[in-house]
Chains A and B, each alone.
Chain A
Amino acid sequence: MASSRDDFIIAIRSAFLKKSTQQKFSLLTLVFVSIFTIILSSFDFKFIRYLKAGISEAVYRSSFIVSIPENFLKNTFFEIKEYSSFFQNYKSNKEELNELKSKSISDQITQYENKELKELINNYTLSSDKLLAKIIVDHDSPYLKSIIINKGSKDNIKIGTNIYDRSYLVGRVVEVNYKTSRVLLLSDLNSNVPVTIAPQNIQAIITGTGKNYGEIKYIKEGISNLILEDSIVYTSGTGAIFKSGIPIGRIDVADTGNSKKFKVDFYSDFGQLKYVFAELVTKTEIKNEDQQAEIDDTQKINTTDTKLQILEDEKKIIEQTNLKLKDENESLKITINNLNKQNVDFRNELYDQKQIIAQYNIDLDEIEFLRLNLKFGHQCRKSFLNNDGFEVGTLEYKSCVMNKGQIND
């Protein structure tokens, strides 16, 4: 018993302390160094921060280079897949583009109006620029969902900077180095975003699931039934971590029997990201009234200029539409005139035909009179023997003839 325990202790001691001929450090030393590093990395010392940033900078670049062959194969596979459905996508995209173009101008105007209203509500102004960033490391880890972009503190990226794919939210920056940054994706388990569900206007929080979709959590009791399939999810701006009104995805209601699960299908496919936009927000406090007036004037000029530009564009479009309408109007007028002429001609023709018909009727009466005159004229004519008759050519004579010789008193 005792000897087996001794063997165990000897084996353990040997495992920890014995160095092989090639090894420079014993395993026990390295265990202590590892633990020391873990403890240090849990503290936010300036030195450790810089050291971590330095290591990250070098490692991310190396990782990017090492990943080139694998990324090449991966991208080739996806490109081949994409080409197979290229034509169908092209057709649907064309239709979508036409629709979006028509909506674009009114959207821009709404945005500027929205901005002005926000400036009125808050005591600061926000101006933002979007910076294009390339994804240099995108390892789809099963535990943590994050990407590395090639912009860092040098490009004014800060912790919390919102990251977009087109206009859709992708995540936010959680680690900043000099020329690189780590972005925590919305699908990560540690990601929580306050959102609004439209059109029901329900406030909720969306959390990552570690998979390619999110889940709606922390919703007020009793209103979950109001959430419908395909409802739109966008950021509410609560907590000031994310800007408000950024689209995230659509609701997919999964009925699990006893309860409903609200999945969120992200608009953006995080596995296919190559480039993203980092939004650089500059916050300017509104100063006292005099200074503010000056700042407001310059800002207003800028805003007004842009607004004017949009309005001018809109005016151009309206003018073009007006011209088109005028042309259409002219052609319609010509058509109306032609139709009126045709109408007058038809009327004249109708009048002539009526005249002919009337003449024909008169002629018919005359023939009838002559026919009856031959037959009954002697009965109506005044003569020596017929004192009751009438003078030829009078109306009484004519009516007598038409009555077939019957004299009416």
Chain B
Amino acid sequence: MTKFKSKGLYFKFYTFLPIIALFISVLNEFDLNYLKLKYFSFNFPFILIFFFTLKDFKNFDYLLVFLAGLINDTVVGLPLGISSLSYILICIATSYLRNITIRPNPIKDWFYFLFIISLINSMNYSILSLFFSYDLLLLSYLVNIFFTFILYMFFTYLFKYYLRGLND
């Protein structure tokens, strides 16, 4: 396992890695859509934000999450603030879950994640189609929710590996 000298430059970079990954993913729209796999898409920022805010990761600043949302809106071409609101709502949901949980259970977290992303995507869909008259494919949203839910466990495993590296 990689060991870092605390307060070293590499260590600092390592601790900021999740937020850097968030910014890269919103700027780059990291969702592997270009592979042209029919109906395949997932929302990596949702997984990242959910996991690290649930863990109350110290460098995962809500303000930076909010800014990442603004950037995502600009890149995707959505009205400003939509993604920020979604990301902040995830933060609220995880904060609530943290407060009510005594013994964390990964499976419960996983299904709670499904409930939250379904709720947030429904809200997104409603705002965009009702207030901004966007034509959107409901099926794309459902597929996105499904794959985001499926891939959550895989990324959770990777993130736990990352956290272990930080604790060592």
Contacts and interface: CB of A to CB of B under 8 A. Distances in A.
Interface residues of A, number: 52
B29 A34 contact: no
Contacts of B56: 20
Interface in A49-75: 52, 55-56, 59-60, 62-63, 66-67, 70, 74
B62 A14 contact: no
A7 B66 contact: no
Interface string A30-62: 110111111011100000000010011001101
Contacts, number: 145
Interface stretch (A21-29, A107-115, A297-305): A21-29
B148 to A, nearest CB: 11
10 contacts: A14-B99, A20-B56, A30-B91, A34-B69, A38-B80, A38-B85, A41-B80, A52-B80, A55-B70, A144-B77
Contact of B91 (A27, A52, A137): A27
Interface residues of B, number: 51
Interface stretch (B111-119, B131-139, B158-166): B131-139
B151 interface: no
Nearest to B40: A142
Contact of B75 (A11, A33, A137, A175): A137
Interface of B: 24, 27-31, 33-34, 36, 41, 56, 58-59, 61-63, 66, 69-71, 74-82, 84-85, 88-89, 91-93, 95-96, 99-100, 127, 131-132, 134-137, 140-141, 143-144
Contacts of A14: 95-96, 99
A240 B80 CA distance: 30
A70 B131 contact: no
Nearest first, the 10 closest Cβ-Cβ pairs linking A and B are A37-B81, A139-B29, A38-B81, A34-B85, A15-B95, A189-B135, A15-B96, A41-B80, A11-B99, A140-B33
Interface in A238-286: 271
A22 B59 CA distance: 7
A67 B62 CA distance: 25
